[in-house]
Amino acid sequence: MVQYHVMREGPNYFMVSYKGSSVLRQDPKDAWRVMGVAKFTEKAQELKQWCLDIHDEWNKKKEKSRKDTSFASEAQVEEAERSEALEPNDNTKMIT
């Protein structure tokens, strides 16, 4: 039996129960390797593909991060816009 656990914080993992023992694996191929010699059967190959698919699907969802809406990030953007608009020599005059 293989279960995929999605964590809000930290890495996702597989819980693999096989022959009376359970192990946690973060890598989908490591989850498949727990099966030992049985990994060469047709069902084990399907399990390997499922592990790879589910891992890719959830990792893509995790990579999409939310926009930073904190006050500090807004202040940094405003400061950058002001510094781009002003030249260092805007308030100076050259007299010859």
The number of helices, as runs of H, and strands, as runs of E, in the chain is 3, 3
Give Dmax (Cα) for the chain: 90
Higher-pLDDT residue of 22, 85 = 22
Q: How many CB atoms lie within 10 A of CB 15?
A: 14
Model pLDDT for residues 12-68, shown as the tens digit of each residue: 888 888 888 888 888 888 888 888 888 888 988 888 898 889 888 887 766 565 666
**Quick count: other Cβ atoms within 10 Å of Cβ 51?**
21
The position carrying tokens 């890598």 is: 27
pLDDT (mean) for 66-89 = 64
Token pair recorded at residue 12:
């996702």
Higher pLDDT, 29 or 83: 29
More confident: 76 or 83 = 76
Cβ-based neighbour number of residue 33 at 10 Å: 13
At residue 4, φ and ψ (nearest 5 deg) are -110, 125
Q: Which pLDDT score is estimated for 58?
A: 82
